[in-house]
């Protein structure tokens, strides 16, 4: 007898799905039993459903293909939600299977009852309940098309008893209609002409490039060459824009470079290319520069800044149509000024990452740069939110093959190791490095056990500063005495050894290079417990009066509260090295 769960798995196979991340439960038994018996698809048993969602999102991000996660009824699928918000905001195609209580009990206040369609509505394009066998396989097919076509999350809610019911006869499943081809959007010719005229009429042009530049590296470089324009990249644009790019002058934003910030402030036209960079305070005002935006999402146009022209189109196609219309520049003054500023900013940042003979504690920049220098050319890096993202953004060099993932839109803690699991499944032959904060690592630490159980050679580097470092920095910059940020950590390396994972503890700057080399050469999972300086500051590219005032008030309050040693440590770490 063919049951509804059989049809469900058949649709997943037709969509190219190779695995489902999740935790089993009685409401999922029908589905997991079919997966157990089916060739070509496997169940990936994690320890927390949130990890399942993050892992699926990472796989989808790296491959561009549909990935799947699942949770049992009630608390099981509720645990998916935070990870699914991250998937949805990262615009990656993920199907979540939310099992439900027995269908006859819906609405009765039954054990573990929730209302999944309501709960998942905010983090999905499509969320529907399969209540009768006749809805299958059509409802799942629609969900898959929505996830792939709209690049986001779809959710199928299915009671455990419905999954076990006899399936109705249905037409054969065809992948041709199941996976929608990606449309290429090219602007109308008059819009291209208007854009070309505006660019030709302005001299000092700076490009701000984001993740929409994926697959358009050559066109972006050609445009910068034509315009003699410096390129500033966003965090999500880094992996697509930075490599092999002589026009790149770094990032802007709270964790960016001063060179990126000033390249945008000094231009007379800012060209936004495939970016929805959210921090309005870093844009030039409409009185300082004209602003033009190219984006394939109409809703993104003008959302962050007042535009002089908005173009709806895919970056690659739009730039290919634009380039023949432009007059090639010869004046390189604006570009050279930005490049010189970047060279200076880069040298200053790299100096902070050198092994210090004066410091007894490791600077986190040294760890990040050593990871970048020693990792393979096609390594995948995942970064926890907070300071690990700062160090990853500033010190992990892109090669054109490397990838950099994080919770860059949703901003959730504990994403890095979970995403590393999905990344390792997406690319089993590649090096995967999780740059984890000690707070983020501890939050979902249970799935560190999954690396052993699943046999994944993920390298986890814990930046162990015994604090929620970025939150502590935010408190200081707004004049608050740090409170509630301290962490009493174990010896993470010893903990790793106790569960069968190689542990390496780094406590001195002189240990960093050899320790990281040993970790990356090991053929199994590794935990690097990097004990780094808690007082390290991640200074943004522009310090406003309020931030300066905040730090001054913090130091005054710290002294008045008897924390003179903390102020001295802060100065020694950031000024006297």
Nearest to 160 by CA among 30, 32, 33: 30
Return d(Cα 417, Cα 528) in angstroms, integer: 13
Which of 145, 178, 211 is the last residue in one of the domains? Answer: 178
| Interval 338-358 mean pLDDT | 90
CB of 190 closer than 8 Å to CB of 261: no
Assess whether pLDDT exceeds 50 at residue 571. Answer: no
Q: Which residues contact 306 (CB under 8 A, 6 or more apart)?
A: 286, 291
Residue 429 inside a domain? The answer is yes
Q: Tens digit of pLDDT for each residue in 363-376?
A: 999 999 999 999 99
CATH code of the domain in which 427 resides: 3.40.50.970
CB of 292 closer than 8 Å to CB of 272: yes
pLDDT band at 541 (very low <50, low <70, confident <90, very high): low
Q: What is the pLDDT of residue 539?
A: 61
CB of 493 closer than 8 Å to CB of 504: yes
What pTM did the predictor assign?
0.93
CB of 229 closer than 8 Å to CB of 207: yes
Residues, the chain: 577
Q: Scanning the structure block, which residue is given the tokens 């649709």? A: 11
Instruction: For residue 528, give the 3-state DSSP assignment.
Output: strand
Q: What is the pLDDT of residue 210?
A: 98
- The token pair that represents 502 in the structure block: 């190689």
CATH code of the domain in which 323 resides: 3.40.50.1220
Q: What are phi and psi of 68, to 5 degrees?
A: -135, 140
Q: Tens digit of pLDDT for each residue in 169-218?
A: 988 888 788 998 888 999 999 999 999 999 999 999 999 999 999 999 99
Q: Which residues contact 228 (CB under 8 A, 6 or more apart)?
A: 205, 329, 330, 331, 332, 334, 335
| Interval 565-573 mean pLDDT | 44
Assess whether pLDDT exceeds 50 at residue 311. Answer: yes
Q: What is the pLDDT of residue 475?
A: 86
Are residues 377 and 413 located together in one domain of the fold?
A: yes
Q: Tens digit of pLDDT for each residue in 255-293?
A: 888 899 999 999 999 999 999 999 998 999 877 899 999
Q: What is the pLDDT of residue 286?
A: 76
Residue 26 inside a domain? The answer is yes
Mean pLDDT of the chain: 93
Q: What is the pLDDT of residue 573?
A: 46
Residue 424 inside a domain? The answer is yes
Q: Tens digit of pLDDT for each residue in 99-128?
A: 999 999 999 999 999 999 999 999 999 999
Q: 362: which strand partners? A: 532
Q: 290: which strand partners? A: 269
Residue 183 inside a domain? The answer is no
Are residues 397 and 480 located together in one domain of the fold?
A: yes
Are residues 329 and 428 located together in one domain of the fold?
A: no
Which of 284, 308, 342 is the last residue in one of the domains? Answer: 342
Are residues 81 and 106 located together in one domain of the fold?
A: yes
Q: What are phi and psi of 256, to 5 degrees?
A: -90, -165
Return d(Cα 330, Cα 494) in angstroms, integer: 60
Q: What is the pLDDT of residue 287?
A: 77
Return d(Cα 45, Cα 49) in angstroms, integer: 9
CB of 496 closer than 8 Å to CB of 502: yes
Alpha helices in 166-211 (DSSP H): 175-178, 189-200
Nearest to 490 by CA among 536, 451, 441, 456: 441
Number of domains in the chain: 3
Tell how many helices (H) and how many strands (E) occur in the chain: 25, 18
- The token pair that represents 439 in the structure block: 């707070």
Give the domain extent around 399.
353-574
Q: What is the pLDDT of residue 559?
A: 43
Q: 273: which strand partners? A: 209, 294
Residue 184 inside a domain? The answer is no
CB of 21 closer than 8 Å to CB of 12: no
Active site residues: 49, 111-112, 385, 470
Residue 348 inside a domain? The answer is no
Return d(Cα 51, Cα 20) in angstroms, integer: 12
What is the dihedral sign for C-alpha 136, 425, 43, 384?
A: negative
249 φ/ψ sector (left φ>0, alpha ψ -120 to 50, else beta): alpha
Nearest to 556 by CA among 564, 547, 548, 565: 564
Q: Is the peptide bond before 137 cis (omega within 30 degrees of 0)?
A: yes
Which of 178, 213, 244 is the last residue in one of the domains? Answer: 178
Are residues 415 and 469 located together in one domain of the fold?
A: yes
- The token pair that represents 340 in the structure block: 């010189």
Residue 329 inside a domain? The answer is yes
Q: What is the pLDDT of residue 544?
A: 55
Are residues 195 and 167 located together in one domain of the fold?
A: no
pLDDT band at 562 (very low <50, low <70, confident <90, very high): very low
3-state secondary structure 404-429: EEECCCCCCCCCHHHHHHHHHHHCCC
Residue 150 inside a domain? The answer is yes
Assess whether pLDDT exceeds 80 at residue 418. Answer: yes
Using a pLDDT cut of 90, give the percent of the chain over it: 84
Are residues 163 and 112 located together in one domain of the fold?
A: yes
Burial of 13 (0-12, 13-18, 19+ CB in 10 A): middle
Assess whether pLDDT exceeds 90 at residue 72. Answer: yes
Q: Tens digit of pLDDT for each residue in 423-470?
A: 999 999 999 999 999 999 999 999 999 999 999 999 999 999 999 998
| Interval 491-514 mean pLDDT | 98
Q: What is the pLDDT of residue 400?
A: 96
Q: Scanning the structure block, which residue is given the tokens 């986890």? A: 460
Nearest to 22 by CA among 54, 45, 2: 45
Assess whether pLDDT exceeds 90 at residue 542. Answer: no
Q: What is the pLDDT of residue 304?
A: 95
CB of 51 closer than 8 Å to CB of 86: no
Are residues 298 and 358 located together in one domain of the fold?
A: no
Are residues 327 and 366 located together in one domain of the fold?
A: no
Are residues 437 and 545 located together in one domain of the fold?
A: yes
Are residues 81 and 118 located together in one domain of the fold?
A: yes
Are residues 513 and 375 located together in one domain of the fold?
A: yes
Burial of 108 (0-12, 13-18, 19+ CB in 10 A): exposed
| Interval 135-162 mean pLDDT | 98
Q: Tens digit of pLDDT for each residue in 86-103?
A: 999 999 999 999 999 999
* Higher pLDDT, residue 2 or 182: 2
């Amino acid at each position: 007898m063919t049951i509804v769960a059989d049809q469900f798995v058949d649709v997943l196979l037709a969509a190219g799905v190779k695995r489902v991340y999740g935790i089993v439960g009685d409401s999922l038994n029908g589905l997991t039993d079919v997966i157990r018996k089916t060739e070509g698809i496997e169940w990936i048993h994690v320890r927390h459903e949130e990890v399942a969602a993050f892992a699926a999102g990472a796989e989808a991000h790296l491959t561009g293909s549909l990935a799947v996660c699942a949770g049992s009824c009630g608390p099981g699928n509720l645990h998916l939600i935070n990870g699914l918000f991250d998937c949805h905001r990262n615009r990656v195609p993920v199907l979540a299977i939310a099992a439900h209580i027995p269908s006859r009990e819906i609405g009765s206040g039954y054990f573990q009852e929730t209302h999944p369609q309501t709960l998942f509505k905010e983090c999905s394009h499509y969320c529907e309940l399969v209540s009768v066998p006749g809805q299958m396989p059509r409802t799942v097919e629609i969900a898959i098309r929505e996830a792939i076509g709209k690049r986001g999350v779809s959710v199928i809610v299915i009671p455990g008893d419905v999954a076990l019911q006899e399936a109705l006869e249905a037409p054969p499943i065809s992948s041709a209609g199941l996976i929608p081809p990606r449309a290429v959007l090219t602007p109308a010719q008059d819009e291209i002409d208007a854009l070309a005229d505006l660019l030709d009429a302005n001299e000092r042009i700076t490009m701000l490039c984001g993740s929409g530049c994926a697959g358009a590296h050559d066109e972006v470089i050609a445009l910068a060459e034509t315009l003699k324009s410096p390129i500033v990249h966003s965090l999500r644009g880094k992996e697509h824009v930075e490599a092999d790019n002589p026009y790149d002058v770094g990032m802007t934003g709270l964790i960016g470079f001063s060179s990126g910030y000033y390249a945008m402030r000094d231009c007379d036209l800012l060209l936004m290319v495939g970016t929805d960079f959210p921090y309005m305070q870093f844009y030039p005002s409409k009185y300082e520069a004209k602003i033009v935006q190219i984006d394939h999402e109409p809703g993104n146009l003008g959302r962050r800044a007042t535009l002089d022209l908005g173009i709806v189109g895919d970056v690659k196609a739009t730039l290919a149509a634009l380039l023949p219309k432009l007059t090639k520049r010869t004046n390189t003054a604006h570009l050279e000024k930005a490049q010189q500023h970047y060279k200076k900013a880069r040298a200053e940042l790299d100096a902070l990452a050198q092994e210090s003979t004066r410091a007894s504690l490791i600077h986190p920049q040294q760890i990040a740069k050593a990871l970048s220098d020693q990792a393979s050319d096609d390594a995948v890096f995942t970064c926890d939110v907070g300071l690990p993202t700062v160090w990853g953004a500033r010190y992990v060099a892109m090669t054109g093959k490397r990838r950099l993932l994080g919770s860059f839109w949703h901003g959730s803690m504990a994403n890095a190791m979970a995403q590393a699991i999905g990344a390792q499944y997406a690319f089993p032959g590649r090096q995967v490095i999780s740059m984890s904060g000690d707070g983020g690592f501890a939050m979902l630490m249970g799935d560190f056990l999954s690396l052993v159980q699943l046999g994944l050679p993920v390298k986890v580097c814990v930046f162990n500063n015994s604090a929620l470092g970025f939150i502590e920095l935010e408190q200081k910059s707004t004049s608050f005495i740090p409170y509630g940020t301290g962490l009493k950590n174990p010896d993470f390396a010893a903990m790793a050894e106790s569960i069968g994972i190689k542990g390496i503890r780094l406590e001195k700057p002189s240990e960093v290079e050899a320790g990281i080399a040993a970790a990356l050469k090991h053929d199994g999972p590794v935990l690097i417990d990097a004990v780094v300086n808690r007082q390290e500051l991640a200074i943004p590219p522009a310090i406003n009066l309020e931030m300066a005032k905040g730090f001054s008030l913090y130091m005054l309050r710290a002294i008045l509260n008897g924390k003179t040693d903390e102020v001295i440590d802060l100065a020694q770490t950031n000024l006297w090295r």
